[in-house]
Amino acid sequence: MARDRSRTGLQARLAGRRGEVVAALWLMAKGYQILGFRMRTPHAEIDLLARKGRVLAVVEVKLRGTIETALEAVTRRQRERLRRAGAAFAARRPDLADAAVRLDLVALAPGRWPCHIPDAWFGD
Q: Which residues contact 54 (CB under 8 A, 6 or more apart)?
A: 98, 99, 100
| Distance in angstroms (rounded) separating the CA atoms of residues 74 and 83 | 12
> What tens-digit pLDDT sequence spans the chain (124 residues)?
666 667 777 777 777 788 899 999 999 999 999 999 999 989 899 999 999 999 999 999 999 988 888 888 999 999 999 999 999 999 999 999 899 999 999 999 888 899 999 999 887 7
Q: How many CB atoms lie within 10 A of CB 68?
A: 10
Structural domains of the chain ordered from first start: 2-117 (3.40.1350.10)
